[in-house]
A and B are shown apart, each in its own frame.
Chain A
């Protein structure tokens, strides 16, 4: 077992880290305040090939695997959770096109979504459904050689950017779910106001309304009626992204607390040197971060080597739960190192506290994912 990163993985990690330090860190606070990421950042990330890391070179990707993807997401998220959210959800769209798309669909949608100029969305959740596919109320009706899509989707990331969107909807005749690719801002597509969420600002979240959106037959993704397979693959790759993302938040919290413990003095001595409880806090964070890190990296390795979707879903769900819950714990400990100062918006840890709680809630809460994983384990 060789737990070292390859040269290529190290290079990707370094490229993401350098970019984050130089280009994102200086504006991260502004992104948080304005809830907006400047477009130049996306283009620069596209130039750096950060949007296509795990995808085939034939479609413009880096073909560098999911471990490299997690390494990059970690570094970007450490600087700004919102940017990592955008990339992570874009990758969900790319993953399902890569897995289910026709040659034509891949050629059309994949290269453009690796440039930073077009950004993918994935739309499954609805106001009434949570994440329960049987309750889908978005419907498609066949009309000649097209489908007509109607309904609402909730909490859709990246819905305000130009680019494609994968939509899961129910066929009004067969009652089965199918997946479709549509172009955002086509006729009949509209958006709510942005949801005002507690953290990960810059990663825009909307409800989406479809009013007689016309979808050409060629835009069915995968086989008609097999939309839930598409959903399953999206769930897997979404959780891979989230694992990398909250690993980054955890690291940011750890590094903030570490720097604070060295810099803040009490009677002439840094608190990290003076108080055992600060030393124990530092050790607790280091331990927890290490556990998260190997858990997330292992998920990247698993995604690159394991083909069984059930096994992959189980690993992805459990890793997402572990990393995101532990990230909250790390952030809580980091807060304790900061004391009252940590509550002030002038300190980064205050922003991280809003970011970090997102992990355990999205794409399935921790209890829900544990039950899902247990079902797979018990069914083995």
Chain B
């Protein structure tokens, strides 16, 4: 058992931290207000290899695995939850294609993302929910094409060109499969963006697919692999979220720790008061626990051949880290007092970002039902 980062992982951590502080931090308010990750940030992330950390090198990725990915994403999300979600969804798209894609699909879409200008999306959830058995979007075979129809809800990065993995039900067989759709093809349109409470910056909208024509060669995996593909996507999304909200915890920790040293009360820094010191220790303990779980899920993802098997562990990690992030935000708020409520203080944004984690890609209670099903099977 070895609890230390490799030289390469340390370098990823340092690179991500420095880039986030230097290039993202000054733009954080703009990213929030415009609800868009600026092109120069996307290019910067791409150049440094931070956009495609787990993608294999032969497709232009950093080949850093999921350990490297969680370590890097934590540092990016520490500075901007929105950028964290943006990068995480890029990972989600590339990983889904990497696991079940053909060599041709990988060559085209992974390289196009890592080296070109594409930004992938994944579309599963629909207005009726995220339960795969309830999917209403259909794919109807028509010669050497599928015709896709349906509406997808809460989809990230829909405003960028690139591939979108759409999960749809085969109109004839009823089986679910993933199909790679080129965004902005004929029949693709998006809603106004949803106005989110926090973790702003990654564009979120609904997607309308109206007679979208997809070549048969763009189906992901074999027809009977669709459900496995979906499981991989679900697991990967939770690995990304764990790293994002670990970064959120780290941000709250840094903010509260620094504030406690600077803020003077009764003539001395509040860090001299026992109750504040205890709060900081509580935050530190929770951060360490969340970090160990997150880094471990990175390790498991790198060492599990069948990634569909990660559903249980990734769900448990996501629940633990995101719920802990909300706890930590509350403790950190108490260190700040009234100042933490003001938008001038980063703490107010960290708090708004934190609540996003437990809600998306399955609430804690819902995911517990998924975990339990796996445990009792």
Q: Does B48 contact A (CB under 8 A)?
A: no
Residue of A nearest to B199 (CB): A343
* Pair B359/A197 contact, Cβ less than 8 Å: no
Q: How far is the CB of B120 from chain A (nearest CB, A)?
A: 20
Q: Which of B64-72, B102-110, B143-151, B337-345 contacts A (4 or more CB under 8 A)?
A: B337-345
Q: Does A124 contact B (CB under 8 A)?
A: no
A172 to B275, CA, bound (A): 33
B residues near A370, Cβ cutoff 8 Å: 275
Known: A266-B131, A354-B197. A336 touches B337 (CB 8 A): no
Contact with A along B333-361 (1 / 0, CB 8 A): 11011101111100010011001101110
Q: Residue B351 contacts which of A155, A198, A371 (CB distance < 8 angstroms)?
A: A198
Q: Does B281 contact A (CB under 8 A)?
A: no
> How many of B's residues come within 8 Å of A, CB to CB?
44
Q: Which of B39-47, B174-182, B230-238, B263-271 contacts A (4 or more CB under 8 A)?
A: B263-271
Q: Does A195 contact B (CB under 8 A)?
A: yes
Q: Residue A198 contacts which of B276, B348, B363 (CB distance < 8 angstroms)?
A: B348
* Pair B343/A197 contact, Cβ less than 8 Å: yes
* Pair A199/B341 contact, Cβ less than 8 Å: yes
Contact with A along B40-81 (1 / 0, CB 8 A): 000000000000000000000000000000000000000000
* Pair B342/A197 contact, Cβ less than 8 Å: yes
Interface positions of A from 303 to 346, Cβ below 8 Å from B: 328, 332, 335-336, 338-340, 342-346
* Pair A328/B330 contact, Cβ less than 8 Å: yes
Contact with A along B352-375 (1 / 0, CB 8 A): 100110111011111011000000
Residue of A nearest to B327 (CB): A332
* Pair B265/A196 contact, Cβ less than 8 Å: no
B residues near A338, Cβ cutoff 8 Å: 359
Sorting the interface of chain A by its residue count into under 10, 10 to 19, 20 to 34 or 35 or more gives 35 or more
Q: Residue A340 contacts which of B154, B334, B344 (CB distance < 8 angstroms)?
A: B154
Known: A335-B355, A340-B359. A350 touches B266 (CB 8 A): no
* Pair A343/B365 contact, Cβ less than 8 Å: no
* Pair A195/B342 contact, Cβ less than 8 Å: yes
Q: Does A263 contact B (CB under 8 A)?
A: no
Q: Residue B366 contacts which of A197, A339, A358, A371 (CB distance < 8 angstroms)?
A: A339
Q: Does B196 contact A (CB under 8 A)?
A: yes
A360 to B131, CA, bound (A): 37
Q: Residue B326 contacts which of A128, A132, A266, A332 (CB distance < 8 angstroms)?
A: A332
B residues near A275, Cβ cutoff 8 Å: 365-366, 369
Q: How far is the CB of A134 from chain B (nearest CB, A)?
A: 7
Q: Residue A132 contacts which of B125, B265, B355, B362 (CB distance < 8 angstroms)?
A: B265
A339 to B127, CA, bound (A): 13
* Pair A365/B337 contact, Cβ less than 8 Å: yes
Residue of A nearest to B345 (CB): A198
A344 to B200, CA, bound (A): 11
* Pair A354/B352 contact, Cβ less than 8 Å: yes
Known: A277-B366, A360-B334, A367-B334. A336 touches B358 (CB 8 A): yes
Q: Does A56 contact B (CB under 8 A)?
A: no
A residues near B326, Cβ cutoff 8 Å: 332
Residue of B nearest to A367 (CB): B275
Q: Does B134 contact A (CB under 8 A)?
A: yes
Q: Does B160 contact A (CB under 8 A)?
A: no
Residue of B nearest to A199 (CB): B341
A residues near B330, Cβ cutoff 8 Å: 328, 357, 360
Q: How far is the CB of A198 from chain B (nearest CB, A)?
A: 5
Q: Does B129 contact A (CB under 8 A)?
A: yes
Q: Does A281 contact B (CB under 8 A)?
A: yes
A128 to B343, CA, bound (A): 19
Known: A277-B368, A277-B369. A353 touches B343 (CB 8 A): no
* Pair B195/A344 contact, Cβ less than 8 Å: yes
A336 to B337, CA, bound (A): 26
Residue of A nearest to B194 (CB): A344
B residues near A270, Cβ cutoff 8 Å: none
Identify the interface centre among A328, A340, A360, A362: most chain B CB within 10 Å of its CB.
Answer: A340
* Pair B337/A361 contact, Cβ less than 8 Å: yes
Q: Residue B266 contacts which of A132, A155, A328, A332 (CB distance < 8 angstroms)?
A: A132
* Pair A134/B266 contact, Cβ less than 8 Å: yes
Q: Does B279 contact A (CB under 8 A)?
A: yes
A353 to B363, CA, bound (A): 16
A344 to B125, CA, bound (A): 15
B residues near A4, Cβ cutoff 8 Å: none
Q: Does A92 contact B (CB under 8 A)?
A: no
* Pair A196/B336 contact, Cβ less than 8 Å: no
A318 to B366, CA, bound (A): 34
A residues near B363, Cβ cutoff 8 Å: 336, 339
Q: Does A135 contact B (CB under 8 A)?
A: yes
Known: A267-B131, A361-B340, A361-B341. A135 touches B266 (CB 8 A): yes
Residue of B nearest to A370 (CB): B275
Known: A198-B348, A267-B131, A344-B196. A336 touches B343 (CB 8 A): no
* Pair B336/A361 contact, Cβ less than 8 Å: yes
Q: How far is the CB of B197 from chain A (nearest CB, A)?
A: 5
A342 to B198, CA, bound (A): 11
Can you name 17 A-B pairs with beta carbons within 8 Å? A135-B267, A266-B129, A328-B330, A332-B355, A335-B355, A340-B125, A342-B197, A343-B360, A344-B196, A345-B195, A357-B330, A357-B351, A360-B334, A361-B333, A361-B334, A361-B338, A367-B279
Known pairs A340-B125, A346-B194, A346-B195 / 14 extra A-B pairs, C-beta < 8 Å: A197-B341, A198-B341, A266-B131, A267-B131, A275-B365, A275-B369, A339-B366, A345-B195, A354-B197, A361-B337, A362-B337, A362-B341, A366-B334, A370-B275
